[in-house]
Structure 1
Amino acid sequence: MTVLDKWYACAKSQDRAGLWDLLHPDVIFESPVVHTPQAGRDITFKYPSSALEVLVGPAFAYIDEWRSDNGAVLEFETEIDGIKLNGVDIMTFSADGRIIHFKVMVRRLKAINLLHRLTGERLAKA
């Protein structure tokens, strides 16, 4: 199973243990709702696991992907509270088959604001 296969499985099932294993200990995470890159698995884990809770629902779908030897760009879309959200996950994979760099980009200002609010609420509960 490839890193990307593992990511899709974790995203679909919201498998927190699988996500933890998939992130490299030195992963760097960049988000449209966090002003600085987050370094390390401990802090990084909180963001995608919360975002998956917010984003993954009946309307969520990966609609395209572009792969390279050591990474991928995955385009996704969903709708939450009547707001259409479109974005990309940009991932770089380490030699040992884990995510070493993870950047999320989202379009539509309303979508970013909604994602910021909902993810913040999830993080506050954690």
Structure 2
Amino acid sequence: MKAFRELVESSIESGSLAGVEDLLADDVVFRSPVAHKPYPGKAITTAILNGVARVFEDLHYVSSIEEGNRSALVFETRIGDTTINGCDFITTNDEGLITEFTVMVRPMKGATALMEAMAAQFPQIEADAIAFTERQR
């Protein structure tokens, strides 16, 4: 998805994906490469994506595939000295809003680094999701 890619490329180095919530449907579902259960909803997905922006270093997209309302954005990034290759699989609705966001990463060392970094972020992610929900009321 071009709009998401442009947002990431222009703002990830700031440690925030300001405005990402405007690209998400209210009923978006986020599927993590390191969690077994999906995360439904705009608040938690926004918070998770901002958490990722805080832990990924030097993220850049290397290619993309667009077909109808589905996109695959292939990326490279680092967490510390661990290089990660991954892909964001994005599905959008008729309004162009993201309804499904699935991330896959490799190698295992990279997935482990991501799991550990995001676990450290999770208290902030939960607090951000709660604050987002309260602002929407």
Same-fold call, TM cutoff 0.5 = yes
Runs of 4+ in 1 over 3 A off after TM superposition: 14-17
> Is the 8 Å Cα contact of residues 26 and 39 (structure 1) preserved in structure 2?
yes
Q: Which moved more, 1:72-81 or 1:85-94?
A: 72-81
Aligned to 2:29: 28
One-letter code aligned to 1:26: D
1:47 aligns with 2:48: yes
TM-score where L is the length of structure 2: 0.80
State the distance in 2 between where 1:16 and 1:108 align: 25
Q: Which residue of 2 aligns with 1:72?
A: 71
Equivalent residue for 2:39? 38
Equivalents in 1 of 2:24, 2:38: separation in Å? 15
- Alpha-carbon shift at residue 20 of structure 1 (Å): 0.7
Does structure 1 conserve the Cα–Cα contact (< 8 Å) formed by 2:55 and 2:118? yes
Gaps of 5+ in 1: none
Give the distance between the partners of 1:16 and 1:118, measured in 2 at CA: 17
Whose helix proportion is higher, 1 or 2?
2
**Residue in 1 aligned with 2:8?**
11
Identity %: 31
| 1:37-116 superposed matches below 5 A | 37-55=38-56, 57=57, 59-116=58-115
Task: Output the CA distance in 1 between the equivalents of 2:26 and 2:104.
Answer: 22
State how many pairs are aligned. Answer: 121
Residues 10-55 of structure 1: per-residue CA shift (max 9 Å, x gap): 2121454410111110001101111101111112222111112211
- Matched with 1:119 is 118
Query: SS of the residue aligned with 2:45?
Result: helix
Question: Using the alignment, how far apart are the partners of 2:53 and 2:63 within structure 1?
Answer: 18
Instruction: Classify the secondary structure of the residue corresponding to 1:74.
Output: strand
Give me the CA root mean square deviation: 1.5
Distance in 1 separating the partners of 2:120 and 2:7: 21
- Compared CA separation, residues 67 and 43, structure 1 to 2 (3 A): same
